[in-house]
Structure 1
Amino acid sequence: MNLRPEQCRAARGLLDWTQDQLATAAGVSRSTVRDFECHRHELQRTTEMLVMKALEEAGVRFLSANREGPGVRLKKPAAPGRAP
């Protein structure tokens, strides 16, 4: 799956994360996140995997493109008293 800049911004919005918070969680520079989200450049595959992993570990689920296009959502939390 190729991460789109719009998905990255939307995922950060769902988590209420800044670009700095995402960069720190993914182990990349803030300018990498900023430039990607502003369509200045594409992410290298390794960097894309780091960004997606950070977002997924924080609770984001990436939706693949269908007739409505790609998207993001928050994972359903585990029921109280149940292991995730």
Structure 2
Amino acid sequence: MLGWSQDELARLAAISRATIVDFERGARIPHRNSLTAIRRAFEAGGIQFIPENGGGAGLRFEKPTRSPDD
């Protein structure tokens, strides 16, 4: 949704690119700390996580609070 590369996400989440690569290809499930860091990076980039509310969980854009270059 944000058009970020794996390198950008890794930098913004302060986790290794290998963690993201392995997660994307299904090689392993990231630790809770890594998932939290990824979520926080997405939220800082303007993604809002919508909880299950009868219509299903989802995502939507908010106004970004920072860009990948910050």
Q: 2:2 aligns with which of 2, 7, 15?
A: 15
Superposition RMSD on alpha carbons, in Å? 1.6
Structure of greater relative contact order (alpha carbons < 8 Å, 6+ residues apart): 1
Secondary structure at the counterpart of residue 15 of structure 1: coil
TM-score (normalizing by structure 2): 0.75
Which residue identity does 1:41 align to in structure 2? R
Give the AA of the match of 2:12.
A
Letter in structure 2 aligned against 1:47: S
% identical equivalent positions: 35
Match among 39, 48, 60 for residue 52 of structure 1: 39
Change (3 A) 1:37 1:63: farther
Larger Rg: 1
